[in-house]
Structure formats: structure tokens, C-alpha cells
Amino acid sequence: MARTRIVLAGEGGQGVQSVAKILVEAGYEAGKEILYIPNFGVEQRGGVSIAFCQIADEKIGEPRFSKGDIVIMLSDRAIDRCTTYVSENSTVIYDSSVCTKKPVCNAKSIISVEANKIANEQLSARVFNIIVLGVLLSATNVLQLSDIKNAMEKALGKKFDAKPELRELNYKALEMGMGLIEKAGV
């Protein structure tokens, strides 16, 4: 049975859960079985925020899993907390422009991206998480770009209509994120 298990972890306020919501909404609309658990503490900001997402072709049993196929870490604390979800079959992706260290784990591959740096220098700090969404889309490779765009429209359509340039900015962020993984050759 094809099932992709994703752990997406960062600091509260980085937009981890927003990205996860768009991803799973896209999966649901594409006819996949989905199970998404947001996991966070009591803080409005700060603290580690983790999204456990599963995208599958058949009905999903366990809500929580031990090891992820894709584990994305967007802060030092996320690395500390989420190394436990890495197995030798996992693809680990971390943001080296946020993290001050490299994840130390036995993974299939460990890829560094600089989503935060690209967002700040080339686009806007606000689309950092959308770059991550692009990274995720390419790394998982189970959904189409159009699925994600439709889900983004559902989540952000009103904002896009008020400011059409935001749509372009978000699409650009998404494509740049995808490009980061394609460059890494996953």
C-alpha cells in the first residue's frame, strides 16, 4: 500500500500548520486518503510545532507513526525533537539558513535548503512557509502542482483577490521551493 508519512516541524509562528493544511486539503481534493494531526504546545508563538501528515491510496490505520518518509526540520529545536522520527528510509530536509546545526541521524539522505534566506532576500519573509510547501511537494512527489494551487486558492483566495500580486508572489515561492529539491536531485 502506498502511504507517505510526513513530519513537518518548526517554530510556532513559522507557518508549519498553515502549510500542512494546504497540503492535506490538496491531497483530499485529489482523492487521496489523508490523516493530519497538528501537534503543538500552549504557546501562540514559539515552541516546537509539528504537523504529522499521511497521504495514502488506501484507508489509513494508525494516526501516529514512528518514522517519517519525509522529515522536514525548520529550526534547531525541531531538529532536537524530530530526529526520533528519522529512519534509514527517511529523507531529511532542514533549513540551513535558520538552523545553526546539521541534523545528525542515520537517514537515506539529508538535504539542506535555504528557504528562509531566499524568502528574505528574493521574495518576502511572509512566503517562507510557501517555499517550504514547494519543497514538500517535490520531495513527496504524490500530488500535482495544480492540486496545491487549488488548495492555496481555497485557503488564501480572498487575500489573493484583494491583492492579485500576492498570488504571483506565492506561486513564485512555491516554484522556487520545488526547484530547491529538484536541484538536490531527490
Binding site for other proteins (CB under 8 A): 21, 24-25, 28, 33-42, 60-67
CB of residue 71 vs other proteins: minimum separation in angstroms? Answer: 15
Q: 57 or 62, CB closer to other proteins?
A: 62
Main-chain phi, psi angles of 10, to 5 degrees? -160, -165
Q: Does residue 32 contact residue 6 with C-beta atoms inside 8 Å?
A: no
CB of residue 123 vs other proteins: minimum separation in angstroms? Answer: 28
Alpha-carbon distance 178 to 90, whole Å? Answer: 19
Q: 56 or 139, CB closer to other proteins?
A: 56
Q: 56 or 132, CB closer to other proteins?
A: 56
Look at the block and give the residue holding cell 512566503.
Answer: 127
Q: 66 or 100, CB closer to other proteins?
A: 66
CB of residue 173 vs other proteins: minimum separation in angstroms? Answer: 24
Closest residue by Cα to residue 74 from 1, 155, 154, 20: 20
Alpha-carbon distance 27 to 131, whole Å? Answer: 18
Closest residue by Cα to residue 11 from 52, 48, 50: 48
CB of residue 168 vs other proteins: minimum separation in angstroms? Answer: 28
Q: 1 or 162, CB closer to other proteins?
A: 1
CB of residue 105 vs other proteins: minimum separation in angstroms? Answer: 17
Q: β-strand 48-56 against 3-11: which pairing, if any? A: antiparallel
